């Protein structure tokens, strides 16, 4: 369809006993051929608007003024329904939007949300949430507005240029061997091998809870990680691919882990679903119940007072690999990190200081090859 250039018309409305009311009306047809118009008190403003509309129509950036009248919540729910997300990610997005975005932005038309309003909203969130959580919520909302721009609902995203609270990096302080040994002594027999597996392989909690006996190869002494247990509110537990593509991996099993698994399977045979670890009733273990009934009591009994989650056993495993000279790429592969930079960002401070090794490398390479420098004081004395 050929684009018809916008035009400006003068409109005069007679008024009894008063001067005529003069307005200037910009008229144009949108990409569907529907006539649109907008009135202005000054001709210069109408001309400017007509020029802007012409440019948008010619460049393909035209946005129907009525398209942005849909509320943020209405559009966000449409956006959520169309996303190809993992169930856990979809549930996380729903929670973040419902708790933190909809109360402030949900009722606002998309086109009416201004960058200053987003910035004020972020400031309010910063007073109640951790910087990392604020960043997650903003990233979700920014993704929704980015989609609205692509859909020609709005001309630009109000999330561009938002200043977020600085996230203070948390230095990982892994549990030492004595702490882990204390946990192993405190945990009930049914879950001891679960703790040993976590500390001896660095597997994530969902990967361990979803481990089935067919993924453990006692002959090759390795475990295949290609699934995790997913638990959603109001839904039965089920198996799903792990966190990322890099999370698919094969981990070598130390002998102490093999022995612990063999003893566990002998004492607690697997059920029809094949799960290595189950609760007292033979059902898959839920994380919330595990934390309250197993992890926290074991921490207290072991006398560990610092705030530590089950993920701490994964950090302990990484620290053991680093302490015994494993490379960044090896640690990355064992943990299933997506990149070496992720591994370094988390554990770089645990690698030994390289300053002394640098000095030794140069000294050893040039040992005996250079004549010692002459000391001027010594020459004068001679």
User: 177-349 belongs to which homologous superfamily?
Assistant: Intergrase catalytic core (1.10.443.10)
Q: Quick one: tokens of 86?
A: 């993992």
Domain(s) of CATH 1.10.150.130: residues in the chain: 69-150
Q: What pTM, to 2 d.p., does this model score? A: 0.72
| Tens of pLDDT, residues 256-294 | 999 999 999 999 999 889 999 999 888 899 888 899 999
pLDDT tens-digit readout, 79-137 = 999 998 888 889 899 999 999 999 999 999 999 999 999 999 999 999 899 999 999 99
Mean pLDDT of 42-52: 89
- Determine the pLDDT at residue 357: 65
Contact of 197 with 257, CB cutoff 8 Å: yes
Where does CATH 1.10.443.10 sit in the chain? Answer: 177-349
CA 206 → CA 88, 116, 150, 308, 365, distances in Å?
Answer: 12, 40, 36, 17, 49
The candidate with the shortest Cα–Cα distance to 156, out of 116, 106, 110, 123, is 110
Rounded (to 5) percent helix, strand, coil in the chain: 50, 10, 35
pLDDT tens for 207-263 read 999 999 999 999 999 999 999 998 877 778 889 898 788 999 999 999 999 999 999
Mean pLDDT of all residues belonging to the chain: 88
Under CATH, what is the fold of the domain 69-150? Answer: DNA polymerase; domain 1 (1.10.150)
- Residues 6+ away with beta carbon under 8 Å from 368: none
In this prediction, residues 294-319 reach a mean pLDDT of 94
């Amino acid at each position: 369809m050929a684009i018809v250039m916008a035009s400006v018309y003068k409109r005069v409305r007679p008024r009894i006993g008063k001067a005529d009311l003069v307005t200037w009306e910009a008229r144009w047809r949108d990409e569907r051929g529907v006539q649109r118009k907008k009135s202005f008190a000054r001709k210069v403003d109408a001309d400017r608007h007509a020029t802007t509309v012409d440019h948008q129509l010619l460049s393909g950036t035209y946005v129907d003024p009525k398209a942005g009248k849909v509320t943020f919540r209405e559009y966000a729910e449409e956006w959520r329904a169309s996303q190809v997300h993992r169930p856990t990610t979809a549930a996380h997005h729903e929670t973040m939007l419902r708790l933190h975005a909809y109360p402030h932005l949900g009722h606002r038309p998309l086109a009416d949300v201004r960058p200053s309003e987003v910035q004020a909203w972020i400031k309010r969130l910063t007073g109640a949430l951790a910087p990392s959580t604020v960043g997650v919520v903003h990233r979700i909302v920014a993704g929704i507005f980015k989609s609205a721009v692509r859909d020609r609902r709005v001309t630009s995203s109000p999330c561009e240029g938002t200043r977020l609270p600085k996230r203070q990096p948390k230095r990982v302080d892994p549990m030492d061997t004595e702490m882990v040994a204390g946990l192993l002594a405190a945990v009930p027999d049914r879950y001891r091998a679960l703790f040993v597996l976590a500390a001896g392989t660095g597997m994530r909690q969902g990967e361990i809870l979803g481990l089935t006996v067919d993924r453990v190869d006692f002959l090759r002494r390795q475990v295949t990680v290609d699934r995790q247990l997913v638990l959603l509110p109001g839904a039965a537990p089920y198996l799903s691919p792990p966190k990322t593509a890099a999370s698919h991996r094969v981990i070598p099993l130390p002998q102490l882990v093999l022995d612990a698994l063999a003893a566990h399977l002998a004492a607690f045979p697997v059920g029809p679903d094949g799960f290595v670890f189950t609760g007292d009733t033979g059902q898959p273990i839920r994380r919330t119940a595990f934390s309250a009934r197993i992890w926290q009591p074991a921490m207290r009994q072991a006398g560990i007072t610092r705030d530590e989650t089950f993920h701490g056993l994964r950090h302990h495993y990484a620290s053991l690999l680093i302490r015994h000279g494993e490379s960044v790429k090896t640690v990355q592969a064992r943990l299933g990190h997506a990149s070496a930079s992720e591994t370094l960002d988390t554990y770089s401070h645990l690698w030994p200081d390289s300053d002394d090794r640098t000095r030794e490398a140069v000294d050893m390479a040039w040992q005996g090859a250079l004549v010692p420098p002459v000391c001027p004081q010594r020459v004068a004395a001679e």
